[in-house]
Amino acid sequence: MQAIIDGFFKFRREAFPQRSGLYKQLAMSQHPGTLFISCSDSRLVPELVTQQEPGDLFVIRNAGNIVPSYGPEPGGVSASIEYAVAALGVTDIVICGHSDCGAMTAIATCKCLDRMPAVASWLRHADSAKVINEAREHRSLHDKIESMVRENVVAQIANLKTHPSVRLALETGRLSLHGWVYDIASGSIDVLGDTGSQFIPLADRYHACPTSSPTHAFV
């Protein structure tokens, strides 16, 4: 805990003064362009990976970067999605999985979760991905887990489309959906291609633009 407290004092001493003007603007309103849905895993920090400033991303993080299908009793994830799309007007939604995901490993290896019933119930929202992944042949357990990570991103995008606010924004051309998988060891990202089933390196789909880097990158 002391490290966190020390970190706050460092933020106040070094980072905050550099962005004081930005924080004054953000104190009155926010206008994020992207909703970023990722895993709660401590090794994936959306703002760090994308080098975005405070106010640029509206972030949802949970075990397995899961989006429950819209239902009669929407929870916190559904409410956050609706607010981001209907109130904030985000133009893009990214669902980002990652390598070595504990949630996807538990599903792919059929790990017993009797001692974590809440986790087990939550991961049922990835059942469609599990069924497809189980039906495929894999060269190794590692490949099976990595495939599960990707199938889950595809499944959660499908779940996302069941949300009324998302459907409306897609229908009117105000919103784009993106599926990403971040590799922790290499720092690379694969993105879901136009076919909706194959992932390709982000660098192959988008070209880096050095001049678009923010003035004060998140570090």
What is the per-residue pLDDT for 182? 98
32-212 adopts what CATH topology?
A: Beta-carbonic Anhydrase; Chain A (3.40.1050)
- Transcribe 146-167 into DSSP letters: HHHHHHHHHHHHHHHTTSHHHH
What is the per-residue pLDDT for 215? 44
Interatomic CA distance for residues 208 and 198, integer angstroms: 21
What is the per-residue pLDDT for 187? 96
Full pLDDT tens readout for the chain, 219 residues: 999 999 999 999 999 999 999 999 999 999 999 999 999 999 999 999 999 999 999 999 999 999 999 988 779 999 999 999 999 999 999 999 999 999 999 999 999 999 999 999 999 999 999 999 999 999 999 999 999 999 999 999 999 999 999 999 999 999 999 999 999 999 999 999 988 779 999 988 887 666 554 444 444
Interatomic CA distance for residues 53 and 68, integer angstroms: 28
Interatomic CA distance for residues 77 and 91, integer angstroms: 18
Q: What does the block give as tokens for 130? A: 């599990």
Q: Find all residues with CB under 8 Å of 176, minimum gap 6, and list them.
A: 91, 92, 93
Three-state SS sequence of 44-104: CCHHHHHCCCCCCEEEEEECCCCCCCCCCCCCHHHHHHHHHHHHCCCCEEEEEEECCCHHH
Tell how far CA 73 is from the center of its chain: 22
Q: What does the block give as tokens for 117? A: 């019933």
By the 8 A CB rule, do 129 and 148 touch? yes
Q: What does the block give as tokens for 140? A: 């190794």
Closest by CA to 150, choosing from 170, 166, 167, 126, is: 126
